[in-house]
Structure 1
């Protein structure tokens, strides 16, 4: 499931940068995005250490752009990368479930919860058998058993339209969930084969979360730690101080954490910089030259560089005027010069990136292709799109139709100068194409609320990529009744439905790419512009933290092993 992200990695990913921010930051060598067949090890930097060799105990404090207000990861109001990062230490059941990912995106059973997963197909029907870890139990004492899996299916399958799920994914193809030899063995049957298997039960829903009211509003301002299970537990959530404190969970049956405390603080970008330089937080993303320059030279810190698992650029709300007109959306796509934007965005970061043309797969995937639907770009190309659709320039030079000018604002989040410069750059490109474009400035903490309530016309934003497989995400973004813009058609929906039946990974992902290509060329709602690097300033001695690719979008590959080298800051 895709998670919204912001430019600094918080929730929705915006980011163009000032072209006049100075030269190349000193220190790191030039780094390139990897294409198909490239060495992804060059994109990982975590200071990997064996947990037994680390100092036992200590505290790690990390920043988030937003904390809440909704804490339900499976709902549209709680679907953000920040919320996912917050849950990872304390809610393995909700964020990991039956599966764990390696750095390259390969999924294997997460034996803390699901010891064995088998699939068998007979007469076109699929039966999946899951053996649950006998020790797996929620914090409130509820066993994680067949009732959990049945409730997960019922809440996420999309049958009850009052439940505000992000996507039904493969759950709509599940026919039944029942107990096998006992309640710790689950037998799942499907109406059609489901591939990949990790499209199911990557995240589990507690049996108590069983009504639309609880699902939709029961997590507003409430973490509900009793419905979680993970190596850490919640010690304190201070909504006023915007701080969450976690300590090891004595009820956790898996590997015990190295740390004695983990702390998350909600901070605007500028406050994050000050907090890191003052030693108050232990890691910070510096994915823009303005952030890098402000952090460079910080005492007791080092830089860790890798690939950011992000795809985004143009995020259009097609449900508000003038974005309801396909021609306006297409003209926006045409007005954008993607290579120029990437040049601005990555200037000074020693990062080279040739293409970002998909919201489903990274360029290093063997199945990646650039699906951006407009080949002729620039102001004149955009004006031609509008002219062909019946628009004309008014006396102010603004393109209009039937007396309605193309007028809207770009919503920008946070106080990072590069993010602001990005929005201003896009604004100028659109203005050159005859559009009246302003800027709606919001705080970083408003991101989740604004995106969930659709209080925007256009943002420079996108999604974190949480899987190396495109199958589930293509439904979330492009199925007509699932995507937030409600754009699509029966023909595309049929193709999307069929994707999950294709057993061959390469064939299935290529088919997903073609669906994305066709949807973009018809509807122009989400436009990929860049991926970008993950550049993190990290306190020296912090182990098992940093750019981790699919192992963890939150930069912590395993919360039980993150900790401090002996003699380092604790």
Structure 2
């Protein structure tokens, strides 16, 4: 799965769509919703988006949608850029060379590239033919130079570019001009099986070629874009992002006059929905779902998302000790945490036992044995062997109490509930866990990204490619491994997986990686987040998307 930082941060749990991107895998299987023994239904694995032909949609209208936080960085490739909220908007305003369909498969976006093919296996060479009509909204052509620049700025060779990750780009030897400026030849030094994940979104060389441009050119502004819509207003005071149709767009024309995204944290988005101030809202907790399920003029849509809630560890403090991390893995009852998240929702949520695959993915298997089974006695023995002696309620060593903190964003009540449950679970083994609540808008920039925490909770959001999750688990000073928990074995296996063209063989390697990830106590997945959406019944081709499915913004609108 390709991971994004969902600010969707278990804020996602609060209904806040704080999510980061970075996990792969679409959802497979059929879309039923049969009941199980608990009386709860199984989530559909296909999209429910009120599909309608474009001919049935009104011309015009304003769509009002919530986002979970203010987006300050619009360069998705910059370290603070890969947020789910940002990606949702960028799918309408920036080039995506490949998009993910409802079955989790990458599909060439011919609005931008009319042809992409492997022209050599040794060395791996991809030839792209850019659509003759493809241009930036400043009128300049999209050319091979934009592809070359994306490679040069994100391949990790110049540390002044603050990149989210270099996976794939670091394996490229050259990006050169083909027969014309619209022909791109990408030659790899190391085979990269996920090459379709690259150059999405694509940024203009004119705006991102220097470190200052790359790091700051899209900070608080979008100087140049390309898509059916363009951002016309960023109002941080009001917390609104407005996009309108780009008059230079050459593809299918969008139906809406404008889309206004409004930053709403906590449960403010549910309040706004019930007040008819927005047209669609995620309802992935019991409290939120119960508030909207019987609301007037509401359609409830459900699917399996590519986002999952997890607990992240950092090596900045006491948890640099692997034995401590492993003890916590054994002491935490993840099934109990999944039930906190699921609450009284009508759908059953099971634990996610794999970091690299969703339970609906072909390659999924549970790898929690022997390092992450729920086993309190094993947790206590690990702490005993590590020299942490029982001293009253909590353990200590060398006069230092075994006390750690879990950092969560304010306005995320489910995150707080999860933290409180873990607080009690860890108390049983003599670990003191304190809760540290921080401002939502500071959560990633000041705490998560720099690894300024012991433990934290947020949501990873999938994008359909395994490669984008690589930097979550590999070593390095940049990337999405915020807690800097890694090993040489994981680095080596990841290189093997990324260069293996056979998907079954690659899946086997990814599962070996997952075993290693559990063995070093990197993080704990809890459960996949359901996509439960309440929305205006007239809103079409939008709603509960399956897995990492992209939005076709040219088809979103209101029925006549």
2:401: which partner in 1? 405
- Tell me the residue number matched to 1:254: 251
Partner of 1:24: none
Match of 1:502 in 2: 500
Cα deviation per residue 1:235-287 (whole Å; 9 max; x = unaligned)?
21111111111111101111111110100000112221211111000111110
Asked if 1:493 corresponds to 2:496, the answer is no
Task: Decide whether the 8 Å contact of 1:101 with 1:550 is kept in 2.
Answer: no
Between the aligned partners of 1:278 and 1:348, the Cα distance in structure 2 is 24
What's 1:564 paired with? Answer: 558
What pairs up with 1:126-141 in 2 under 5 angstroms?
126-141=124-139
- Identify the residue that residue 321 of structure 2 maps to in structure 1: 325
Which is further off, 124-133 or 429-438? 429-438
For residue 294 of structure 1, give the secondary structure of its aligned residue in structure 2. helix
**Which residue number corresponds to residue 143 of structure 2?**
145
> Over aligned residue pairs, what C-alpha RMSD do you find?
2.0
In the alignment, the residues of structure 2 paired with residue 509 and residue 116 of structure 1 have an alpha-carbon distance, to the nearest angstrom, of 28
Q: Secondary structure at the match of 2:318?
A: coil
What's 1:51 paired with? 54
CA apart distance, 1:438: 1.3
Residue 30 of structure 1 aligns with which residue?
Answer: 40
> Do the aligned partners of 1:12 and 1:447 also contact (CA within 8 Å) in 2?
no
Closer/same/farther in 2, CA of residues 143 and 269 from structure 1, 3 Å limit: same
Task: Give the match's secondary structure for 1:384.
Answer: helix
What is the match of residue 163 of structure 2? Answer: 165
Corresponding residue of 1:37: none
Instruction: Count how many residue pairs are aligned between Structure 1 and Structure 2.
Output: 529
Q: Contact conserved, 1:231 with 1:559, CA < 8 A, in 2?
A: yes
Q: Look up the SS of the partner of 1:463 in the other structure.
A: strand
Q: Distance in 2 between matches of 1:87 and 1:200?
A: 15
SS in 1 for 2:267: helix
Shift of 1:182: 0.3
Report the equivalent of 2:67.
64
2-structure distance, mates of 1:4, 1:295: 27
In structure 1, the residue corresponding to 2:449 is in which secondary structure? helix
Measured after TM superposition, the shift of residue 33 of structure 1 is 4.8
Match of 2:35 in 1: none
The question of whether the paired residues in 1 share the 8 Å contact of 2:473 and 2:485 is answered with: yes
Structure-2 residue corresponding to 1:287? 284
Partner of residue 18, structure 2: 11
Question: Which stretch shifts more, 52-61 or 503-512?
Answer: 503-512
Tell me how far 1:378 sits from its aligned partner: 4.3
Residue-by-residue CA offset, 1:307-332 (whole Å, 9 max, x unaligned): 121123211122x2112111221122
Stretch of structure 1 that moved more, 289-298 or 369-378: 369-378
- Asked if the contact 1:360/1:473 (under 8 Å) is kept, the reply is no
Cα distance change on mapping 1:66 and 1:101 into 2, 3 Å: same
- Name the SS of the counterpart of 2:269 in structure 1: helix
The answer to whether 1:342 aligns with 2:338 is yes
Q: Are the equivalent residues in 2 in contact too, given 1:65–1:445 (CA < 8 A)?
A: no
Native 8 Å contact 1:355 1:363 kept in 2: no
Indicate how the Cα distance of structure 1 residues 218 and 399 shifts in structure 2: closer, same or farther if over 3 A, else same.
farther
- 2:78 corresponding residue in structure 1: 75
SS of the aligned residue for 1:87 comes to helix
- Residues 212, 403 of structure 1: CA spacing in aligned structure 2 closer, same or farther, 3 A cutoff? farther
Aligned to 2:25: none
Q: Which residue of 1 aligns with 2:188?
A: 190
Q: Distance in 1 between matches of 2:149 and 2:508?
A: 33
Q: What does residue 21 of structure 1 align with? A: none
CA contact (8 A) 1:361 1:465 kept: no
Q: Give the alignment partner of residue 274 of structure 1, picking from 271, 275, 289.
A: 271
Report the TM-score when normalising by structure 2.
Answer: 0.90
For the residues of structure 1 that align with 2:487 and 2:350, how far apart are their CA atoms? 32
> Is 1:118 the counterpart of 2:113 in the alignment?
no
Q: Which moved more, 1:406-415 or 1:273-282?
A: 406-415
CA contact (8 A) 1:427 1:437 kept: yes
CA contact (8 A) 1:140 1:227 kept: yes
Task: Name the residue aligned to 1:177.
Answer: 175
The verdict on how the C-alpha distance between 1:375 and 1:101 changes in structure 2, with shifts beyond 3 A counting, is closer
Q: Give the unaligned 5+ runs of structure 1.
A: 14-28, 35-39
Q: Which moved more, 1:449-458 or 1:108-117?
A: 449-458
SS at match of 2:66: strand
Contact 1:174 1:188 in 2 (8 A): yes
Structure 2, unaligned runs of 5 or more: 21-38
Determine if contact 1:169/1:199 at 8 Å carries over to the other structure.
no
Q: Is the Cα–Cα contact under 8 Å of residues 234 and 245 in structure 1 kept in the other structure?
A: yes
Conserved 8 A contact 1:311-1:358 = no
**Whole-angstrom distance in 2 between the partners of 1:87 and 1:146:** 21
**In the alignment, which of 355, 365, 371 is matched to residue 369 of structure 1?**
365
SS in 1 for 2:532: strand
Q: Does 1:476 align with 2:459?
A: no
Decide whether aligned partners of structure 1 residues 135 and 330 sit closer, same or farther in structure 2, where only a CA change above 3 A counts: same
Shift of 1:400: 2.1
Deviation per residue, 1:13-58 (Å, 9 max, x gap): 8xxxxxxxxxxxxxxx833257xxxxx33xx210000112111110
Could you tell me how far 1:485 is from its partner in structure 2? Answer: 2.9
Name the counterpart of 1:218.
217
